[in-house]
């Protein structure tokens, strides 16, 4: 029998030495087991990763945001950084400003990283967009006419 790695999973150990598997990796791992692939521990004993303990670890790794900070930021033709200081977070919601349900922007504002801002937020898209990111200062806004966006940082 030959051995071959078919997928690499990122795992970490918590303070108690428990294995922590990201939810996306856990789904991949469970799909492999369902397909009949045997998973073995370091001792070579077959294990079933779909145990209650494994699922509890994955659930514990998903921690919801505990705070929200919000404001408004104007874009610029060259791309304006959303926040100037490091702001660790779980994600950022961005949407156009409005007054009594009426859009105040006349043109879209583009969102992205420091190199390129290509994701449009249209003036009447009041639902906005949510960007899952680890630091809000990695986001930039571009607008040819200095339009602005409201944002909420979930940390």
For 127-148, the pLDDT digits (tens) are: 999 999 999 999 999 999 999 9
Q: What is the DSSP letter of 107?
A: S
Least confidently predicted of 16-20, 31-35, 42-46, 113-117? 31-35
pTM: 0.63
What residue ranges define each of the domains in the chain, with the CATH number in brackets? 11-61 (no CATH), 68-154 (2.60.120)
Q: Where are the beta strands (DSSP E) in the chain?
A: 11-13, 19-21, 39-40, 46-47, 68-74, 80-81, 91-95, 98-99, 102-103, 109-112, 117-121, 129-131, 140-142, 148-154
Name which of 59-68, 93-102, 109-118 the model is least confident about: 59-68
Please determine, for residue 123, whether its predicted confidence score (pLDDT) is greater than 70.
Answer: yes
pLDDT of residue 71: 97
CB-based burial label for 108 (10 Å; 0-12, 13-18, 19+): buried
d(C-alpha 105, C-alpha 123), whole Å: 5
């Amino acid at each position: 029998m030959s051995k071959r790695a078919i997928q690499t999973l990122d795992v970490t150990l918590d303070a108690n030495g428990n294995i922590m598997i990201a939810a996306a990796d856990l789904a991949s791992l469970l799909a492999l087991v369902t397909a009949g692939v045997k998973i073995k521990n370091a001792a070579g004993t077959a294990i079933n990763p779909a145990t209650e303990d494994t699922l509890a670890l994955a659930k514990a790794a998903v921690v919801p945001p505990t705070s929200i900070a919000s404001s408004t930021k104007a874009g610029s033709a060259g791309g304006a950084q959303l926040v100037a200081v490091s702001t660790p977070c779980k994600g950022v919601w961005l949407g156009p400003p409005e007054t009594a349900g009426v859009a105040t922007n006349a043109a879209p504002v583009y969102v992205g990283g420091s190199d390129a801002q290509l994701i449009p937020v249209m003036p009447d898209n009041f639902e906005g967009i949510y960007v899952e990111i680890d630091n809000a200062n990695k986001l930039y806004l571009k607008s040819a006419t200095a339009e602005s966006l409201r944002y909420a940082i979930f940390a």
